[in-house]
Amino acid sequence: MTNSFEDLENTKLIFLIGSNPTEAHPILGVKMKKAIRNGAKLIVIDPRKTEMAEIADLWLPIQPGTDIALLNGLMHVILNEDIYDHAFVGERTENIQELKETVEKYTPELVAEMTGIEVELIYQAARLYAQTRDASICYTLGITEHVVGTMNVMSIANLAMLTGHLGRENVGVNPLRGQNNVQGACDMGALPDVFPGYQKVFKEEARKRLETTWNVSLSDRVGLTIPEMMDSAIAGNLKAMMIMGEDPVLTDPDANHVHKALESLDFLVVQDLFINETAKLADVFLPAASFAEKDGTFTNSERRVQRVRKAIEPLGNAKTDWTIITELSRRMGYPMKYQNVEEVFNEMTTVNPIYAGMDYQRIDKKGLQWPVPTKEHSGTRVLHVGQFTKGKGTFKGIEHLPPAEVPDKEYPYLLSTGRRIYHYNITTQYSPTLKEYQPEELAMVNPEDASHLQLKDGDKIKVASRRGEIIVATEITDRVPKGMVWMAFHHKESPTNVLTNGAYDPVSQTGEYKVAAVKVEKYN
């Protein structure tokens, strides 16, 4: 997030696109509702009538996969009516001409046709966003989980720059990060192209520094992303994998493809708490400790680094993930000597500039928001104040591209996926309490489709895509539009990702979870 949770409580307009915070980020939902009670306006862009959509001032029910068209349409109106932030555009950005040329074509009328949103709503949303000084954009996976995910994000940046909604309090472009430490895992360099602190592996300076600290020589070649690893395994080039704390068979798109990839490996090690769907395929399973059994830190969506504290000893014979790694490393001829994780953290801060000024004492009570370059620095609530990291913000003209797969005669329904409040990706199913309350997935089906398919609430359906099929019970609700089936992916009994499309964004390599074509029939 460019900004902080506190800003979301104080903002005057929340522009929520592809995000369902009351279920996926409940406490953020609470904060947004507080802002709304204090008078903030709310624009929601979502194909589903979510809880936030119900309380929104403007709800734009969008046809999935048409976000760029809509964003261009909004900018078309903003430019046409000359309600953009001239000062911001002039001082802090470049290349406005390219944007103007691109969005020119996206008239509200055309956009209405492409997105299924009424023309009048497009005008209203554009004016409201552009003319509210403190307006904050929040988005989640509804934006990124498309083949055009990166371009969606760039379009959002265009909109925020055009209206000067960046670089100060109570505004910003705020991706709400899904998992507890997805921010931290990225910050730590658990990515194929960057070292800790987003330093590119092919840049000599950073590599040299790490080589000295770690006393090894390092590869300058960008590594494989998850989808590339899967393809490479099937092609026979990738021979072995180690997977820590993830269940790609359940959570990655096109599960059958992932399954096949992992089966092609010569050697698979899984380090986890449970024999999850991925672990079933492993040659060796290493039992890890839960968050309650270890010390460390997590970094949340607002870049706040906070302590995880050990409450109990690891259960049974389990070991913390960090101990397992150090023991493996020693056996492979590279001893890692740490007395505790605090020493690991301290080493990390010496090679990660955005964490440089942190230590356990400083983050003990309230955490710190990176970047924290020095011990004196008190953390960063708002990014890009005065200047962007790379100097001027560059507008990019971005054209609409359709999803990789759209409904057709054979697969007439659109499947979209997401999260539910009672579950969290892959761990909560092991909570006896949560499992008792919500034991199974209920696919959402629109009443009109239900009557066409002769379904009653709770009836089972067979959902099939080009990649696989599953059986799932249904909930009939007008929260989903006609023609759409919506499912979460938490339950291994109804593994939604058997259906989803493995097509992915060429830059971020994020799978297109939000749009797949499926056929649906009643299952008896």
Partner 1 sequence: MSEIHEQQPITLTIDGKQVTVPKGVTVKQACEFNNIAIPALCYDPELTSLGSCRLCVVEVNGFKNLPASCVTTATEGMVIQTQSQAVVESRKMMLELLLADHPMDCLTCHKNGSCLLQDYAYQYQVKGELFAGNKHRYPIEDDNPFILRDLNKCIDCGKCVRVCSEVQGRHVLDYAYRGYEMKISTAMDYTLANSDCVFCGSCVAVCPTGALVEKNMVGKGRSFEVEKVKTTCPFCGVGCNFDLNVKDGRVIGVTSNPDSVVNGRHLCVKGRFGTDYIYSPERITTPLIKKDGEFVEATWDEALDLVANRLLAIKKESGNDSIGVLSSARCTNEENYLMQKWVRAVIGTNNVDHCART
Site residues, ligand SF4 (CB under 6 A): 25-27
Question: Which one, 25 or 514, has the nearer CB to ligand SF4?
Answer: 25
- Contact of residue 244 among ligand SF4, partner 1, none (CB under 5-8 Å per partner type): partner 1
- From the list partner 1, ligand SF4, none, which binds 523 (C-beta under 5 to 8 Å, kind-based)? none
To partner 1, the closest distance from the beta carbon of 323 in angstroms equals 10
Least distance CB 39 / partner 1 (angstroms): 14
Task: Return the closest-CA partner of residue 342 out of 359, 328, 323, 366.
Answer: 359
Question: Is the CB of 166 or the CB of 426 nearer to ligand SF4?
Answer: 426
Q: Which two tokens stand for residue 425?
A: 């990706």
Q: Within 356-375, which residues bind partner 1 (CB under 8 A)?
A: 365-367
Give the integer Cα–Cα distance in Å for 341 and 494. Answer: 38
Both tokens of residue 217? 């020589």
Task: Report the residue number, 108 or 296, with the smaller CB distance to partner 1.
Answer: 296
**Structural contact between residues 122 and 112, judged by C-beta atoms closer than 8 angstroms:** yes
> What Å distances lie between residue 106 and 74, 83, 126, 161, CA to CA?
9, 17, 13, 18
The partner in contact with residue 90, picked from ligand SF4, partner 1, none with C-beta cut-offs of 5 to 8 angstroms by kind, is: none
CB of 210 to ligand SF4, least distance (A): 32
**Does residue 165 belong to the site contacting partner 1 (CB under 8 A)?**
no
Q: Which of residues 208-247 bind partner 1 (CB under 8 A)?
A: 210, 214, 216, 218-219, 221-226, 229, 232-233, 237-246
Q: Are 147 and 67 in contact (CB under 8 A)?
A: no
Q: Which of residues 417-446 bind partner 1 (CB under 8 A)?
A: 421-425, 427-428, 430-434, 436-437
Q: Distance (Å, rounded) from C-alpha 443 to C-alpha 433?
A: 21
Q: How far apart are CA 463 and CA 443, in angstroms?
A: 10
Beta-strand pair 199-200/93-94? unpaired
Length of the chain: 524
Under DSSP, the state recorded for 288 is: B
Minimum distance, C-beta of residue 222 to partner 1, in the bound complex (Å): 6
Among 66, 102, 181, 416, binds partner 1 (CB under 8 A): 181
Draw the binding track, 47-86, toward partner 1 (x: CB under 8 A; -: no contact): ----------------------------------------
Region near partner 1 per CB under 8 A, out of 396-404, 453-461, 465-473, 506-514: 506-514
Beta bridge mates, 297: 307
Least separation, in Å, of the C-beta of 252 and partner 1?
Answer: 7
- Per CB under 8 A, the list member of 13, 19, 33, 115 interacting with partner 1 is 33
Q: Across-strand partners of 388?
A: 391
Q: Taking CB within 5 to 8 Å according to partner kind, which of partner 1, ligand SF4, none is near residue 484?
A: none
Of 8 and 201, nearer to ligand SF4 (C-beta) is 8
For ligand SF4, which is the closer residue by CB, 106 or 298? 298
**Candidates 66-74, 344-352, 383-391, 476-484 — which segment interacts with partner 1 by CB under 8 A?**
344-352
**Which of 46, 30, 36, 37 has the alpha carbon at shortest distance from 14?**
36
Shortest reach from residue 309's CB to partner 1, in Å: 5
Based on the shown chain and the rule CB under 8 A, indicate whether residue 299 belongs to the binding site for partner 1. yes
CA-CA distance, 48 to 53, in Å (whole number)? 8
Point out the residue whose Cβ comes nearest to ligand SF4: 27
8 Å CB contact between 296 and 348: no
Report the chain's terminal Cα–Cα distance, integer Å. 47
The entry of ligand SF4, partner 1, none that residue 142 binds, CB within 5 to 8 Å by partner kind: none
Minimum distance from residue 27 beta carbon to ligand SF4 (Å): 4
Nearest alpha-carbon partner for 147 in 397, 402, 412: 402
Distance CA 393, CA 390 (A): 7
Contact 105, 186 (CB under 8 A): no
Q: What angle do CA 271, 274, 276 make, to 5 degrees?
A: 90
Query: For partner 1, how many residues bind (rule: CB under 8 A)?
Result: 144
| C-alpha to C-alpha distance for 174 and 176, rounded to whole angstroms | 6
Query: Look-up: residue for tokens 């966003």?
Result: 129
Question: To which H or E segment does residue 445 belong?
Answer: strand 442-445
96, interface contact from ligand SF4, partner 1, none, CB < 5-8 Å by kind: none
Shortest gap between Cβ of 399 and partner 1 (angstroms)? 23
Q: How far is the CB of 293 from partner 1 (least distance, A)?
A: 8
Rg (Cα) of the chain, in Å, rounded?
24
Q: Which does 385 bind (CB under 5 to 8 A by kind): partner 1, ligand SF4, none?
A: none
Least distance in angstroms from the C-beta of 25 to ligand SF4: 6
Which stretch, 9-17, 65-73, 280-288, 450-458, contacts partner 1 (CB under 8 A)? Answer: 280-288
Binder of partner 1 out of 336, 406, 453, 473 (CB under 8 A): 336
Interface with partner 1, residue 312, by CB under 8 A: yes
**3-class DSSP state for residue 417?**
strand
Q: Which does 264 bind (CB under 5 to 8 A by kind): partner 1, ligand SF4, none?
A: none
Q: Which of 27, 390, 32, 335 is nearest to 180 (CA)?
A: 27
